Amino acid sequence: MSGQRVDAKVVMLGKEYVGKTSLVERYVHNRFLVGPYQNTIGAAFVAKVMSVAGRTVTLGIWDTAGSERYEAMSRIYYRGAKAAIVCYDLTDSSSFQQENLWVHELQNFEEHCRIYLCGTKSDLLDEDRRKRGVDFHDVQDYADEIKAELFETSSKTGQNVDELFQKVAEDYVHFTAFQVMTEEKGVDLSQKSGTYFYSCCHH
């Protein structure tokens, strides 16, 4: 059914404005767009082919909006994801506090989804250390607790961005090699929910 073969679904999560779209832009197009903020509407999909240990892997990356409006629907974007990159803005402590929500949802609904915590906009810290709003060791402790990887990236300079996605792809390769032995069934993309009128009662 799919014209575009995707090996691993990767979802970008995190509050609006933390830098998810910029991260994808940097990784996929190796650029950083300046100009007025363009919030993502709904979600955007982009596929990226990469190679891991001589094997090609296509990542299907879902960049979500992160706005409350689409929260009730975010499941359709992360369902069946192999990896979730949960972003927070290193200069904004409130953005880290919201991580919890996403992590909980993933742990509850997507047990096979690996979690990558990503602190964004590290270039702003290079300019001025005092801008750091989220302590590295606190996040490290949290990451250990939820068995997540932790990265600090800058889409502006490109720092650590490729490393992040490379790690995601490598883990996928290793993880599926292991999973094939333990579990036969993959994700059924045609699996439907009861209705497309999603429940709007998330308040």
Partner 1 sequence: MAADVHKKKSWEVSNGLLAPADGQHVAERSESPTPGLAQGTEPGAGQEGAMFVHTRSYEDLTSSEDGGAASQSPEEGQGDQDDQIKMEQISKDFSELSTQLTGVVLDFEEEMRQSKDDKLDLSPQTSRHDSVLSGKEEEDVTMDAWRMHQKHVFVLSEAGKPVYSRYGSEEALSSTMGVMMALVSFLEAEKNAIRSIHADGYKVVFVRRSPLVLVAVARTRQSEQDIAHELLYIYYQILSLLTWTQLNHIFQQKQNYDLRRLLAGSERITDNLLDLMARDPSFLMGAARCLPMAAGVRDAVSTSLQQARAKSLVFSILLSRNQLVSLVRKKDQFLHPIDLHLLFNLISSSSSFREGEAWTPICLPKFNSCGFFHAHISYLEQDTDLCLLLVSTDREDFFTVSDCKRRFQERLKKRGVYHALREALLTPFYSVSQVGISDLRHFIYKSKSSGLFTSPEIEAPYVSEEEKERLLGLYQYLHSRAHNSSRPLKNIYFTGQNENLLAWVTSAFELYVCFSPLTTKAAAVGAVNKLMKWIRREEDHLFILMPQTY
Q: Which residues bind ligand GDP (CB under 6 A)?
A: 16-22, 37, 39-40, 66, 120-121, 123-124, 154-156
Residue 120 touches which of Mg ion, ligand GDP, partner 1, none (Cβ within 5-8 Å per kind): ligand GDP
Nearer to ligand GDP, 124 or 173 (CB): 124
Nearer to Mg ion, 9 or 20 (CB): 20
How distant, in Å, are the alpha carbons of 8, 80, 138, 179, 180 from that of 184?
16, 15, 38, 8, 6
Q: Which residues contact 118 (CB under 8 A, 6 or more apart)?
A: 14, 23, 85, 86, 87, 88, 150, 151, 152, 153, 164
Does position 40 interact with Mg ion (CB under 5 A)? The reply is yes
- Output the smallest distance, CB 92 to partner 1, in A: 15
Residue 178 touches which of ligand GDP, partner 1, Mg ion, none (Cβ within 5-8 Å per kind): none
- Output the smallest distance, CB 185 to partner 1, in A: 17
Residue 181 touches which of partner 1, Mg ion, ligand GDP, none (Cβ within 5-8 Å per kind): none
Torsions phi, psi of 187, nearest 5? -90, 130
Nearer to partner 1, 67 or 176 (CB): 67
CA 133 to chain centre: 21
- Output the smallest distance, CB 201 to partner 1, in A: 7
How far, in Å, CA of 153 to CA of 87, rounded? 10
Nearer to partner 1, 21 or 120 (CB): 21
> What is the dihedral angle through the alpha carbons of 141, 144, 145, 150, rounded to the nearest 10 degrees?
80
How far, in Å, CA of 6 to CA of 56, rounded? 11
- Output the smallest distance, CB 166 to partner 1, in A: 20
Nearer to Mg ion, 64 or 91 (CB): 64
Residue type, 162: D
Residue from 18, 21, 87, 106 that binds Mg ion (CB under 5 A)? Answer: 21
**Burial annotation 59-68 (CB, 10 A radius, 16+ → b, else e):** bbbbbbbbee
| Contact footprint for Mg ion (CB under 5 A) | 20-21, 40
